[in-house]
Structure 1
Amino acid sequence: MTRREMTRPETRWAETRWAGAWVAERLGVRLTDGARPVGAGLSDLVGLAVRRNPRRAHLLVSAVLGKHVPTDPRLVYGAGLLLGDLVRARLHGLDVPSRAGSLLVEALGGAPGAAAALRDVLREPQEPLDAVVLGYAETATALGHSVADALGGAYYLHSTRRPVPGFTAYGGFEEEHSHATSHLLLPADPADLDRDVPVVLVDDELSTGRTVLNTIEALHAVRPRRRYVVAALVDLRGDADRARMDALAARLDARIDAVALAAGRVDLPGGILDAGRALAASLPEPAAAPAAGAFPVTRARLDWPPGLPDGGRHGFLPPHRARLEKDLPRMADVLADALGDGFSRVLVLGFEELMYAPLRLAETLADALPDADVRYSTTTRSPVLAVDDPGYAIRTRLAFPAHDDPADGPGERYAYNVSSRFDRIVFVVDDAGDTGLLTGGAAARLRALAPVTIATVPSRGRAA
Structure 2
Amino acid sequence: MTAPWPGEWVTSRLGLALSDAHSPVGLTLPGLVGLAVRRNPRRAHLLVSTVLGKHVPTDPRLVHGSALLLGRLVADVLQPLPGGPEEKAGLLAEAGLRGEPGAAAGLRDLLTAHRRVLGAVVVGYAETATALGHGVADALGEAVYLHSTRRPVAEVRPYGGFEEEHSHATSHLLLPVPPGLLESEGPLVLVDDELSTGRTVRNTLRALHAVRPRRHYVVAALTDLRDEADRAAMAGLEGELGARVDVVALVTGRVGLPPGVLEAGRELVARVERGMGRSQAPERAPGGVRRVRLGWPAGVPEGGRHGFLPVHREQLEKELPAMAARLAEALPAGARRVLVLGFEELMYAPLRLAEALADLLEDTDVRYSTTTRSPVLTVDDPAYAIRNRLVFPAHDDPADGPGERYAYNVDQGFDAVAVVVDEAGDTPALEHGLLRGVRRLGAEALVAVIPS
TM range (shorter): over 0.9
Alignment of 1:242 onto 2:235? no
Question: Which residue is 1:391 aligned to?
Answer: 383
What CA deviation, in whole Å up to 9, does each residue of 1:404-454 have, x standing for no partner?
000000000000000151111100001100000000000000011101000
Alignment of 1:404 onto 2:396? yes
Question: Which residue is 1:443 aligned to?
Answer: 435
Query: Matched residues in 2 for 1:294 and 1:72: separation?
Result: 26
Question: Which residue is 1:9 aligned to?
Answer: none
Alignment of 1:433 onto 2:418? no
Alignment of 1:457 onto 2:450? yes
Query: Matched residues in 1 for 2:196 and 2:416: separation?
Result: 36
Query: Matched residues in 1 for 2:386 and 2:212: separation?
Result: 41
Question: Which residue is 1:4 aligned to?
Answer: none
TM-score by length of 1: 0.94
Query: Matched residues in 1 for 2:21 and 2:403: separation?
Result: 38
Alignment of 1:131 onto 2:124? no
Query: Matched residues in 1 for 2:65 and 2:434: separation?
Result: 29
Structure 1 SS opposite 2:413:
coil
Alignment of 1:330 onto 2:322? yes
1:254-269 correspondence to structure 2 within 5 Å: 254-269=243-258
Structure 1 SS opposite 2:410:
coil
Report the Cα offset of residue 127 of structure 1.
4.2
Report the Cα offset of residue 166 of structure 1.
1.5
TM-score by length of 2: 0.97
Report the Cα offset of residue 126 of structure 1.
3.8
Alignment of 1:32 onto 2:25? no
Out of 105, 112, 115, the residue aligned to residue 94 of structure 2 is 105
Structure 2 SS opposite 1:48:
strand
Task: Rate the CA distance shift 1:109–1:147 in 2: closer, same or farther, 3 A.
Answer: same
Report the Cα offset of residue 189 of structure 1.
1.3
Report the Cα offset of residue 197 of structure 1.
1.1
Question: Which residue is 1:73 aligned to?
Answer: 60
Report the Cα offset of residue 125 of structure 1.
4.8
Amino acid at match of 2:4: R
Structure 1 SS opposite 2:420:
strand
Equivalent pair of 1:134/1:159 in contact (CA under 8 Å): yes
Equivalent pair of 2:121/2:188 in contact (CA under 8 Å): yes
What CA deviation, in whole Å up to 9, does each residue of 1:114-138 have, x standing for no partner?
0000000000154410000000000
What CA deviation, in whole Å up to 9, does each residue of 1:14-39 have, x standing for no partner?
97110000000010111000111111
Out of 104, 116, 120, the residue aligned to residue 105 of structure 2 is 116
Query: Matched residues in 2 for 1:195 and 1:15: separation?
Result: 50
Amino acid at match of 1:114: A
1:259-298 correspondence to structure 2 within 5 Å: 259-283=248-272, 284-288=276-280, 290=282, 293-298=285-290
Q: Taking every aligned residue pair, what percent have the same amino acid on both sides? A: 65
Query: Matched residues in 1 for 2:20 and 2:202: separation?
Result: 24
Question: Which residue is 2:202 aligned to?
Answer: 213
Task: Rate the CA distance shift 1:32–1:172 in 2: closer, same or farther, 3 A.
Answer: same
Alignment of 1:22 onto 2:9? yes
Question: Which residue is 1:154 aligned to?
Answer: 143
1:220-239 correspondence to structure 2 within 5 Å: 220-239=209-228
What CA deviation, in whole Å up to 9, does each residue of 1:155-193 have, x standing for no partner?
000000000132110000010111111100000112221
Structure 1 SS opposite 2:267:
helix
The RMSD of aligned alpha carbons is: 1.3
Structure 2 SS opposite 1:76:
helix
Q: What 5-or-longer segments of structure 2 have no aligned partner?
A: none
Alignment of 1:378 onto 2:370? yes
Query: Matched residues in 2 for 1:233 and 1:432: separation?
Result: 30
What CA deviation, in whole Å up to 9, does each residue of 1:314-366 have, x standing for no partner?
00000000000000000000000000311110000000000000000000000
Structure 2 SS opposite 1:419:
coil
Q: What 5-or-longer segments of structure 1 have no aligned partner?
A: 1-13, 460-464
Equivalent pair of 1:292/1:444 in contact (CA under 8 Å): no
Task: Rate the CA distance shift 1:40–1:294 in 2: closer, same or farther, 3 A.
Answer: same
Question: Which residue is 1:46 aligned to?
Answer: 33
Equivalent pair of 2:65/2:104 in contact (CA under 8 Å): yes
Out of 32, 46, 59, the residue aligned to residue 59 of structure 1 is 46
Task: Rate the CA distance shift 1:126–1:351 in 2: closer, same or farther, 3 A.
Answer: closer
Equivalent pair of 1:15/1:390 in contact (CA under 8 Å): no
Query: Matched residues in 2 for 1:64 and 1:275: separation?
Result: 28
Query: Matched residues in 1 for 2:116 and 2:167: separation?
Result: 37
Equivalent pair of 2:396/2:426 in contact (CA under 8 Å): yes
Paired residues in the alignment total 446
What CA deviation, in whole Å up to 9, does each residue of 1:66-100 have, x standing for no partner?
00000000000000000000000011134683231
Equivalent pair of 2:187/2:217 in contact (CA under 8 Å): yes
Query: Matched residues in 2 for 1:15 and 1:392: separation?
Result: 15
Query: Matched residues in 2 for 1:69 and 1:132: separation?
Result: 29
Query: Matched residues in 2 for 1:236 and 1:81: separation?
Result: 21
Report the Cα offset of residue 61 of structure 1.
0.1
Amino acid at match of 1:82: L
Q: Which runs of 4+ in 1 moved over 4 A?
A: 288-293
Query: Matched residues in 2 for 1:291 and 1:165: separation?
Result: 40
Deviation larger for 288-297 or 110-119: 288-297
Equivalent pair of 2:281/2:388 in contact (CA under 8 Å): no
Amino acid at match of 1:337: E
Structure 2 SS opposite 1:266:
strand
Report the Cα offset of residue 292 of structure 1.
8.2
Out of 170, 189, 193, the residue aligned to residue 182 of structure 2 is 193
1:346-357 correspondence to structure 2 within 5 Å: 346-357=338-349
What CA deviation, in whole Å up to 9, does each residue of 1:39-78 have, x standing for no partner?
1110000000000111100000000000000000000000
